[in-house]
Chains A and B, each alone.
Chain A
Amino acid sequence: MDSLGYELKELPVQLERVRVLEYFEGDRLVQLKSPQGEIYLKSWLDEHEQWTRWLLFRCTSAALGRFIAGVWTLRDLLEKHDDGVAYIVDSNGREEHVSLIMAKDFPDSYMPTAESYYDADLAPEGGEQVERILLDGFWSVEFLSTLDRKYRQVYAALAAFLSDTVTQARLATHLSKYRFKGGWIHVKVFDLLVGALPKEVKPKVIAFHYASPGVLEYRVEPSLASRVSGAVHNLLEDDGTIKEAYRELHKQLGEFSDWAATGTHDEAELEREQRRMLRQPSEDLAEALKLEQPSVIWQLTNGNYYNAGHILASYYRRIETLVDLHSQGDARISSVLQAKPLIDEPHIPLSVEAD
């Protein structure tokens, strides 16, 4: 391999490996960080016998977010990065030769093409532990607060809807006693769901690029974050089935409330009627939303379809908010941009018999 750029004794910065972004018969793209937390990318360029050549360059969190989200190409990252210089690192596993290269001198033969979008399928197994939300337009602190709250609520609801014992045990204590009466019913329910999340899987804000466009980064549990993006993607692709199921459930919840408010009804009558009016629309919405284990909602609400219906309807509205923000371009979830639809899981009906 020909020498390139200006030879250096060593890299001027100590870098720590963060994760492999692309792997195919060896690392192809690796994320590193400096002691100051700056992000560097190491991209495979070439190899000859025992030597491997890498391009090392600094990039911002926002730029990396755009690349991971499929908005920018690797070529964009190289052309738009501010440093104007990068490092060429030739390594044989024991020795390293480092040189500094001006961006303008970067050989065409190494230049990624205009189609060099990130291929998330090449990320090693284990999943992305960072979820990025790309912000754009004129957003405010209030907007951020709403976005953060809705994201956490949908994330927590999806965790609660799985038969995870830790979350279930916590929720069973609180939610089963909840009366679904008074003000702010749904806010309180979702507070319970968020509160029941084990600390180690809660989304944690790890970076915020305060600009427009900006980026909000969460450390997440990959399986839950992928369910959130799957839920948003599912509603984005809705042919009207989900919206119709929601409208029907919402209507039936209202009619049941009106009926329950008229006259005096004993417990048995209320139980019979809520089952008659709300079971089918609740099941329909759960199915349309492709919930993996809707029977869990039934367990959490002790078989009360009125309460289960309220949770489902509220859950739908929170996803709808994320979808609106995403489709307007105000807050785009990066993993949704990578278009990962929900996998159709075997449907377990929301019913007593299924438990």
Chain B
Amino acid sequence: MNPSAYINCFQGILYRELYRFVQQRSRFISALVRPLLWLVVFAAGFRAALGISIIPPYQTYITYEVYITPGLVGIILLFNGMQSSLSMVVDREMGSMRVLLTSPMPRAFLLICKLISIALISAIQAYVFLLIAYFFGVEPPIVGYLYLLPALIMAGLMLASLGLFISSLVEQLENFAGIMNFVIFPMFFLSSALYPLWKMREANEWLYQICLFNPFTYAVELLRFALYATTNLKALLIVGITTLVFVGAAVAGYNPRTGLLGRKSKPG
């Protein structure tokens, strides 16, 4: 295979994800409504209850809406990553996954193309959300939007690869939905998405320690710093390493020799 074949292949996978994204308008709308509800309703209610001190990357006192916006961008990536992986389980049940897996391209390459496509689509949704959030007083510096793009891709890759790995472990759609509830909500609530970690530490040291082990915390912090045109090196490193681990696990999960899929398939 020559290099142009790989480019054609990547374009094909990206276009397919885009076509599906455009066709599934309800999915796009629900992906926006969810964080907007948090921003408009939840944040309004909690604004008075939660005082936010000056913490990096913010240089002054901020409103609660401003604080939770990166976390809500994170939840867009988290939900989209998981939902796209859910579509892998659907594809597997419906049979269209076979078309992908019987391609002559290396399977790792195919899965990475899929993950990048998912991350790019998540990034589009995140920017649309930020545009709406701007009208609710969330006004980061313009250059922050540019800084954000690589952070969105990295965090999107990490969360999509986690979803892809989980999808390789489950046999049926019903199981996947159950597992997602045990992944999405703990990841979201046990992170710095909704409240600063020092607040969590004040409340409960154990929960704080769990938050420190949660890779989603670092994804949110990477996004938060990037949105204000700075880099959180610790978050960058942890998100980078976690992405590599999850991608490796997802690729192994879809390998017929090492993965569970082959072992779990049924006779016929």
Do the two chains belong together in a single complex? no
Residues of A in contact with B (beta carbons under 8 Å apart): none
